[in-house]
Amino acid sequence: MNDLLMSKLAIIGGSGITRLDGMEILRREVVHTPFGEPSAPLTHGIFHGHEMVFLPRHGSAHTIPPHRVNYRANLWALRQIGIQKVVGVAAVGAINPAMAPGTIVIPDQIIDYTYDRDHTYFDDNLTHVTHIDFTFPYCETLRQQLLASASSANLEAGAGGTYGATQGPRLETSMEINRMEKDGCDLVGMTGMPEASLARELDMCYACCAVVANWAAGRGDGPITMREIEEHLTVGMKKVYKILLKLFIST
């Protein structure tokens, strides 16, 4: 078996997933990094017989907004303890009409609209300038494993799509969504970047499991409500658990 297959999997949980139901907690590990503190201690546990690590992106009590997440510390901490494979679970809004709320999508591309975030490790005290290749932003092996897991759980998951990462914490205007659609975005979320590119900078295998929580601004029947988001997240998260279960069994 190669290193990637043997490596422990980590889940970064987003809105609606501050802990992983069904995970037996072994220990919590506080990790300090040169880039500051991660969102929470890393939780080591057993999920249906498989060792894994869980990190709640928005903190244990869900108090860190998307633009304040210390993405550098989160990925660095996971790498520091030897993690090579990460699934980022993320709530998103749907721009593409085929990606209805409550469904799961495994995106294959990203457009980054975020700003003012610490988005690289190649910043200070460099001995040389580094440009990572980011043509295909997600780890294709892990994407395919997630899609195969969805299908063995008898769930349909969108097999691709472009994730547009916005700054937040406000939601978008309807015209911003129109512009994003013209750009080619299918989904909109606030946490997909720089998480994906930092993982690539660290040479980690990273994929996103997007849970569609709402129609994007201007695409539904009225304003976007937190109630609507929570309801769809509840439905979507049940699917995420089933997919993760199959993923752990298969890797």
Please tell me whether residue 188 binds ligand HPA under the rule CB under 6 A. Answer: yes
Phi and psi at residue 64, in whole multiples of 5°?
A: -100, 115
CA 74 – CA 19 distance, rounded (Å):
16
**Which residue stretch of 45-53, 74-82, 142-150, 211-219 sits at the interface with ligand HPA (rule: CB under 6 A)?**
211-219
Tokens (6 digits) for 152:
């063995």
CA 72 – CA 135 distance, rounded (Å):
21
Please tell me whether residue 166 binds ligand HPA under the rule CB under 6 A. Answer: yes
Please tell me whether residue 171 binds ligand HPA under the rule CB under 6 A. Answer: yes
Which residue lies nearer to ligand HPA by CB, 36 or 169? 169
Which residue lies nearer to ligand HPA by CB, 87 or 202? 87
**Buried residues in 172-192 as b, exposed as e (16+ CB within 10 A):** beeebbbebbeeebbbbbbbb
Which residue lies nearer to ligand HPA by CB, 41 or 218? 218
CB-neighbour burial class of residue 168 (10 A; exposed 0-12, middle 13-18, buried 19+): middle
Residue 97 Cβ, how far from ligand HPA at the closest point, in Å?
Answer: 14
Please tell me whether residue 194 binds ligand HPA under the rule CB under 6 A. Answer: no
Please tell me whether residue 91 binds ligand HPA under the rule CB under 6 A. Answer: yes
- Among 69, 99, 190, 205, indicate the residue that binds ligand HPA (CB under 6 A): 190
Please tell me whether residue 107 binds ligand HPA under the rule CB under 6 A. Answer: no
Alpha carbons within 13 A on the beta-carbon side of 144: 3
Q: Which residue has the tokens 């989160």?
A: 74
Please tell me whether residue 31 binds ligand HPA under the rule CB under 6 A. Answer: no
163 close to 216: Cβ distance less than 8 angstroms: no
Alpha carbons within 13 A on the beta-carbon side of 179: 8
Structural element, H or E, at residue 195: helix 192-201
Rg (CA), the chain: 17
**Which residue stretch of 38-46, 88-96, 112-120, 178-186 sits at the interface with ligand HPA (rule: CB under 6 A)?**
88-96
Q: Count residues near ligand HPA (CB under 6 A).
A: 12
Please tell me whether residue 214 binds ligand HPA under the rule CB under 6 A. Answer: yes
**Which residue stretch of 91-99, 114-122, 130-138, 151-159 sits at the interface with ligand HPA (rule: CB under 6 A)?**
91-99
Tell how strand 50-56 and strand 23-29 pair up: unpaired
CA-angle at 163, arms to 118 and 235, nearest 5°? 110
Q: Which residue has the tokens 């494979």?
A: 85
**Which residue stretch of 43-51, 96-104, 109-117, 165-173 sits at the interface with ligand HPA (rule: CB under 6 A)?**
165-173
Please tell me whether residue 213 binds ligand HPA under the rule CB under 6 A. Answer: yes
Q: Which residue has the tokens 């090579």?
A: 84
Please tell me whether residue 172 binds ligand HPA under the rule CB under 6 A. Answer: yes
Residue 196 Cβ, how far from ligand HPA at the closest point, in Å?
Answer: 15
Give me the residues that bind ligand HPA (CB under 6 A), please.
91-93, 166, 171-172, 188-190, 213-214, 216
